[in-house]
A and B are shown apart, each in its own frame.
Chain A
């Protein structure tokens, strides 16, 4: 509930512009930014902007424009600095991380607005609106963070948390139930367990640093019957856009995918072809797999042969994607041959309001229109700012966590009493708790009661 520490978050819209805007607000923010900026802004009167380089030690992160607003003449009513940097995911994230490493924290959803309200920058009528913004943003952020946490990272963090809760329970057991006939855990065992947790944490940090979080890719599925031109379209994207990982179709994979960056967003293009080819014997299984992929994907490019009448196979896929209208882009390929009127008409009736692009993968005709449509869809289906925030949040929390585990190990090695170790462990658990939900003392007691026979 600290209300004047420095908070930071990207504030510009997500539609992959060439500029990204990051806002910092709070007491001492100007001198904070000053220490990483190539120019002296300490004496700035506010309401000015400065061009210069943002630097971490001697490494230049980016050429930026820094806007200075002095309290109370700012959005939040506090001192505010806004940094305009190049609209690139990595740069934005690096700048935010730089400040997070130096006593700033990520703004909570709606926190700039909340501060604005608390500093009387808004009138009473706006109070409810602010509350709604907070609630809506946080729902989005929570959803996003749940999405990210779904899968690998979530499993890992929950596992770390469980191990710590077990350790905390053992320590509390020694304090609150020392009169019971119960074996007390030796400190060396605790230290071993903590070291193990430390190694796991380091592993997570390394994987974050190398992959920049694999979870925030936008998954784009290319769906359509064989030979409708999926791989040509895929190649069309690959040749133009930056490929990160290239996979060759092989017997071990059940689908072909390529990772590209389109407009600063990670995209995983999936060619559903692999599915069918692998499951040729069992047709049903192939359809089932497509169904799952379609559901998991953020965007579906449904590719039809616009020069032909729709056939049985097209109709089967139509059935499959009918309910997924909001992530659909319809692609009518082969407009270089002819446009089949019946097909065009039927598609328009079947999918009202869904974007349709007709292209020729062969001649590259209209491929740019398809790319634009895809970018539009991407910006609707994701909020990159939130991705940056959640990524940075996870990374920083893990770093803090690692530090706290190290402190805890030291306490245990110095043979601090269980009541002190309990405080260290609680601090570590609380850090993870901000990611996975708080751990209460009840949870620890429950863990004790279910694992130990307590009670004389």
Chain B
């Protein structure tokens, strides 16, 4: 019987990244999914990226992940968001052709040398003396592996609600995964319940687009992947329309049969992605809500009505949506629904995403209580990398909050108590100015290369970009721009200068751009991305320095590791709340401990004394992750 290095359960966005990266890291990998043809399916809205999520995709790409490459081949409407603001908060987003996306994803995973894709339903795990050794299929067959990564999405005991009707399902049209939750509960895992929802899909030909606002894609689509040269697909538009008082009145008639309002749904839904009934209930004074009509593809007849997520009964959905401007004649192809599913509160994980109760078992994606493809993919990637490193007996790969949104994501997951699905926002990142979508490569690619997951082509391109930035900084910034040329060029746009000034000095003026100065100096051959990076560094030096100073302080406390031998329960000097939380969450570093709510600065001082005590006693300072 063949024994794999890594077995991945689930073919969603987390599973894809996990499987791809372990295969890249030269491990024999098996991906088990219910239906091969549904690998890479976008169960929710057909879009990748968005604010903060776009940064995640760029980081995934810099670390050898595939999400960016797939969307670059499947995107049909690229748009850079927040372009009216600075580079730190801009994010790429793209609408995808759903079927194309899945096809490309499946093609990417087609690497028979190291990756087997197995159809089947996993009903249990093989756990031998606290270590994952493989999985049990529903048909009774065992598959053995040295590490198991579970990425089951919303499929664990999934229940779909439409009105007061409910059925067991992982996603509309797919069976739920049963038995796994129970196996894990039997091994000491705590379970929670969450809820999410989707809007109805309507038939494209039944929509009157002429009365709606058109949202055009960017003229020059910018790829997600550092390896993509250019976006080839034809770009198409999205449309915006609004609900009205009439729509709301009809929806209210359905409240009696709402699975949410009647208490049928026990799981907690995300507040940042509420259902339309929730919106009109909680914000009764708002007389319209924006709807974003997303095409699901070039040939796909379905259109996703973003903003109209609902689990109200079918006849209410139908009547209500037809009151919306442009949707008067629309036909619903698929009803909106809410789905409830099991998740494992992620404080049960180490920063490597390995579970605390069972060694060599990793959790990634929605089962950790996150929402979103990008959040799932990021976890899948990190779980895959860390599983591979552990099997190779190499140190764990953990990103800091100061290094990447992925670091923020995982740190938040394992150190906070979560009451709703977790989604990334830029405001969650303390070092937002430093963690930009445009510098994900500068932040991470060197690390990816060291892991062996960044291919030569991407790495060469990166080296070139780095060299350009270095050359801009060392050669061009000190150059003097002639007074005459500057004053002529910026006439009426910038206060004239009275002598020649350096590029660096002139750049401090908000209206002056590096690109134009290089043009004045007749310096050519620099790529726009390198120019932008250097310009940003100078224009916002004050803020960047402040963030860097904070970051240094942060890194310092982060590097103070807490010996795993410490028994928090027995440190009397800690407050009762800190004792309890620290014992539950078992932080690995002082920095991590300080971010746990309820742990006070005085508790941190106490811990510092204990860390030092252990250090002086010569106790090992091993990390808990590999225990």
**Distance in Å: Cβ of B589 to nearest Cβ of chain A:** 11
B82:A108 contact, CB within 8 angstroms? no
* Interface-side segment among A36-44, A145-153, A224-232, A448-456: A448-456
**Distance in Å: Cβ of A7 to nearest Cβ of chain B:** 12
B425:A445 contact, CB within 8 angstroms? yes
Cα A108 to Cα B597 with chains together (Å): 20
Using Cβ atoms and an 8 Å threshold, which residues of chain A touch B319?
none
Q: A131-B610, A172-B427 are in contact. Are A110 and B572 (CB under 8 A)?
A: no
Using Cβ atoms and an 8 Å threshold, which residues of chain B touch A445?
425, 427-428
A454:B272 contact, CB within 8 angstroms? yes
A108:B602 contact, CB within 8 angstroms? yes
Cα A139 to Cα B283 with chains together (Å): 43
Within 8 A of B (CB), among A7-53: none
B427:A441 contact, CB within 8 angstroms? yes
A453:B282 contact, CB within 8 angstroms? yes
Cα A456 to Cα B93 with chains together (Å): 15
Using Cβ atoms and an 8 Å threshold, which residues of chain A touch B430?
441
**Distance in Å: Cβ of A238 to nearest Cβ of chain B:** 41
**Distance in Å: Cβ of B611 to nearest Cβ of chain A:** 10
B612:A455 contact, CB within 8 angstroms? no
In the complex, B613 has a CB within 8 A of chain A? yes
Q: A175-B426, A419-B433 are in contact. Are A135 and B292 (CB under 8 A)?
A: no
Using Cβ atoms and an 8 Å threshold, which residues of chain A touch B602?
108-110, 134-135, 138-139, 142
Which listed residue, B85, B557, B600, touches A175 by the CB 8 Å rule? B85
Which listed residue, B85, B425, B573, B575, touches A419 by the CB 8 Å rule? B85
* Interface-side segment among A176-184, A269-277, A371-379: A176-184
In the complex, B571 has a CB within 8 A of chain A? yes
B574:A135 contact, CB within 8 angstroms? yes
Which listed residue, B85, B86, B286, B616, touches A453 by the CB 8 Å rule? B286
Cα A139 to Cα B605 with chains together (Å): 13
A417:B85 contact, CB within 8 angstroms? yes
Cα A371 to Cα B291 with chains together (Å): 76
Within 8 A of B (CB), among A368-423: 417-420, 422-423
B271:A134 contact, CB within 8 angstroms? no
Using Cβ atoms and an 8 Å threshold, which residues of chain A touch B553?
1-2
B89:A455 contact, CB within 8 angstroms? no
Which listed residue, A108, A419, A453, touches B432 by the CB 8 Å rule? A419
In the complex, A128 has a CB within 8 A of chain B? yes
Cα A235 to Cα B433 with chains together (Å): 65
Within 8 A of B (CB), among A82-110: 108-110
Using Cβ atoms and an 8 Å threshold, which residues of chain B touch A328?
none
**Distance in Å: Cβ of B566 to nearest Cβ of chain A:** 12
A124:B86 contact, CB within 8 angstroms? no
Cα A249 to Cα B279 with chains together (Å): 59
Q: A111-B605, A135-B573 are in contact. Are A176 and B290 (CB under 8 A)?
A: no
A127:B425 contact, CB within 8 angstroms? no
B290:A180 contact, CB within 8 angstroms? yes
In the complex, B50 has a CB within 8 A of chain A? yes
B557:A1 contact, CB within 8 angstroms? yes
Cα A118 to Cα B615 with chains together (Å): 11
A interface residues, how many (CB within 8 angstroms):
45
B573:A132 contact, CB within 8 angstroms? yes
A128:B573 contact, CB within 8 angstroms? yes
**Distance in Å: Cβ of B450 to nearest Cβ of chain A:** 28
A1:B427 contact, CB within 8 angstroms? no
Q: A418-B85, A420-B543 are in contact. Are A456 and B306 (CB under 8 A)?
A: yes
B interface residues, how many (CB within 8 angstroms):
63
A176:B427 contact, CB within 8 angstroms? yes
In the complex, B173 has a CB within 8 A of chain A? no
**Distance in Å: Cβ of A9 to nearest Cβ of chain B:** 14
Cα A177 to Cα B289 with chains together (Å): 14
A419:B601 contact, CB within 8 angstroms? no
A419:B88 contact, CB within 8 angstroms? yes
Cα A128 to Cα B286 with chains together (Å): 58
B273:A455 contact, CB within 8 angstroms? yes
A456:B597 contact, CB within 8 angstroms? no
**Distance in Å: Cβ of A90 to nearest Cβ of chain B:** 29
* Residue of A with least CB distance to B597: A440
A449:B428 contact, CB within 8 angstroms? no
Cα A428 to Cα B573 with chains together (Å): 31
In the complex, B609 has a CB within 8 A of chain A? yes
Q: A1-B590, A456-B292 are in contact. Are A114 and B609 (CB under 8 A)?
A: yes
In the complex, B540 has a CB within 8 A of chain A? yes
* Residue of B with least CB distance to A444: B427
Cα A65 to Cα B430 with chains together (Å): 46
Cα A427 to Cα B432 with chains together (Å): 14
* Residue of B with least CB distance to A455: B273
Using Cβ atoms and an 8 Å threshold, which residues of chain B touch A418?
85, 89
Which listed residue, B428, B574, B617, touches A441 by the CB 8 Å rule? B428
In the complex, B606 has a CB within 8 A of chain A? yes
Do most interface residues of chain A lie in helix, strand or loop, or is the interface mixed?
A: helix
B572:A132 contact, CB within 8 angstroms? yes
A422:B427 contact, CB within 8 angstroms? yes
A419:B86 contact, CB within 8 angstroms? yes
**Distance in Å: Cβ of B50 to nearest Cβ of chain A:** 7
* Residue of B with least CB distance to A135: B573
Using Cβ atoms and an 8 Å threshold, which residues of chain A touch B590?
1
B290:A181 contact, CB within 8 angstroms? yes
In the complex, A303 has a CB within 8 A of chain B? no
A423:B426 contact, CB within 8 angstroms? no
Cα A434 to Cα B543 with chains together (Å): 22
In the complex, A117 has a CB within 8 A of chain B? yes
B556:A134 contact, CB within 8 angstroms? no
Using Cβ atoms and an 8 Å threshold, which residues of chain B touch A454?
271-272, 274
Cα A172 to Cα B50 with chains together (Å): 15
A127:B283 contact, CB within 8 angstroms? no
B52:A114 contact, CB within 8 angstroms? no
* Residue of A with least CB distance to B542: A420
B609:A423 contact, CB within 8 angstroms? no
Which listed residue, B52, B283, B546, B604, touches A423 by the CB 8 Å rule? B546
Which listed residue, B86, B286, B428, touches A420 by the CB 8 Å rule? B86
Interface core residue of B81, B543, B604 (most chain A CB under 10 Å): B543
A134:B606 contact, CB within 8 angstroms? yes
In the complex, B531 has a CB within 8 A of chain A? no
In the complex, B307 has a CB within 8 A of chain A? yes
* Residue of B with least CB distance to A453: B283
Q: A132-B573, A456-B306 are in contact. Are A127 and B427 (CB under 8 A)?
A: no
B51:A178 contact, CB within 8 angstroms? yes
A175:B605 contact, CB within 8 angstroms? no
Using Cβ atoms and an 8 Å threshold, which residues of chain B touch A427?
546
In the complex, A330 has a CB within 8 A of chain B? no
Using Cβ atoms and an 8 Å threshold, which residues of chain A touch B571?
131
In the complex, B164 has a CB within 8 A of chain A? no
B51:A127 contact, CB within 8 angstroms? no
In the complex, B227 has a CB within 8 A of chain A? no
**Distance in Å: Cβ of B121 to nearest Cβ of chain A:** 33
Q: A419-B432, A422-B427, A455-B279 are in contact. Are A175 and B82 (CB under 8 A)?
A: yes
B605:A449 contact, CB within 8 angstroms? no
The chain B residues found within 8 Å of chain A, CB to CB, are 50-52, 81-82, 85-86, 88-89, 242, 270-274, 279, 282-283, 286, 288-292, 306-307, 416, 425-428, 430, 432-433, 540, 543, 546-547, 553, 556-557, 560, 571-575, 590, 597, 600-606, 608-610, 612-613, 616-617
Q: Give 19 A-B contacts (CB < 8 Å), ordered by A residue.
A: A117-B612, A118-B608, A127-B609, A131-B606, A135-B573, A135-B603, A138-B600, A138-B601, A172-B425, A175-B51, A178-B51, A178-B81, A178-B82, A179-B50, A449-B271, A453-B283, A453-B286, A455-B273, A455-B274
Q: Which 8 A-B pairs have the closest CB atoms?
A: A181-B290, A138-B602, A456-B307, A131-B573, A135-B573, A449-B271, A453-B283, A127-B613
Known: A109-B602, A117-B609; 9 extra A-B contacts, CB below 8 A, are: A1-B590, A134-B602, A138-B602, A176-B51, A178-B81, A420-B543, A441-B427, A453-B274, A453-B283
The chain A residues found within 8 Å of chain B, CB to CB, are 1-2, 108-111, 114, 117-118, 124, 127-128, 130-132, 134-135, 138-139, 142, 172, 175-181, 417-420, 422-423, 427, 440-442, 444-445, 449, 453-456
